[in-house]
Amino acid sequence: MMVDNRAGVAAMLVLLTGCATTGPVTPGDPLERMNRGTYRFNDAIDRAALKPIATAYRKGVPQVLRTGISNVLGHLAFTTTIVNDLLQLKLTDTAADIGRFIINSTLGIGGVLDPATRIGMRRNQEDFGQTLGRWGLPSGPYLVLPLLGPSTLRDAPAMAADLQTDLRVQLDLDNNTRIAVGVLAVVNLRAELLSIDEPISSAYDPYAFIRDAWLQRREFQVRDGEVPDEVAPEDPGELDDFEGRPDQAAPGAIATSNADTSLIPASADSAGGTLR
């Protein structure tokens, strides 16, 4: 039995690393070989199932209904931002985001509508990974998670903390409804990201394109936009909705990539050569 277990572990490692590049890893991305194997796994699942389902959803569901669904899902997840506002001692943002949540819960009919945005209230976006970064915990190397996509050694476990404050998970729902909400959230998000498939597919090295765009965006988020000019996104607004889809990136963040792609310049406080 012990031999069989070891053989199984070895087989898993081969699957994760054997298909990855055999050349030297990019400086600042020490887990690149494993990451590329996971990236290919995620991309295969996306091409086979997630993208076709999201495409059908976008074509078959009217825009007004998709907007309402996006609003509700975002509203239920907004409690995570409020909690992390407070954990980061951003008291003004905490008060503003509580107000936003109350307005959309009432005037917005449970979040179906978004009157808070219409009256000019800014929507903040915070998570526990950003909170850890704000208090000085280094990110560690870039990490691609199976099914979940880009992360870092710091952000990956932080996702578990965010689930504790996400009403999409914490509401008292029966199992079937909870699963339906989760599936709908994934499909809806993937449908919103269909428009950025082309920049990724046209990149010389899609893995490097996604990695650099994701790290650039996270640097911007953790530092609240106070990043060196060479790593600041040209248009941070383009990156606001880039979240969660396995190995997806936003257009315009990294213009080109090549076979010897290096990470975008890291700040002095970055750990292991990666951003944040």
pLDDT at 23: 54
User: How far, in Å, are 188, 194, 259 from residue 27 at the CA level?
Assistant: 35, 31, 13
Confidence at residue 15, expressed as pLDDT on a 0 to 100 scale: 42
Nearest of 203, 218, 204 to residue 266 by alpha carbon:
218
Give the mean pLDDT of 141-153.
96
Residue pLDDT, tens place only, 163-177: 999 999 999 889 999
Per-residue pLDDT of 203-234, as tens digits, reads: 999 999 999 999 999 999 999 888 666 554 44
Mean of the per-residue pLDDT values for the chain?
81
| 8 Å CB contact between 143 and 152 | yes
Count how many residues are written for the chain: 276
d(CA 227, CA 135): 16
Query: What angle do helix axes 206-222 and 32-45 make, rounded to 10 degrees?
Result: 100
d(CA 245, CA 196): 12
Work out the pLDDT band at 275, boundaries 50, 70, 90.
very low
Give the global pTM.
0.75
Task: Work out the average pLDDT over 181-195.
Answer: 95
What 8-state DSSP symbol labels residue 176?
H
C-alpha angle 80/35/254, rounded to 5°?
75
Residue 136 in this model has a pLDDT that exceeds 90: yes
Q: Highest-confidence range of 151-155, 197-201, 263-267, by mean pLDDT?
A: 151-155
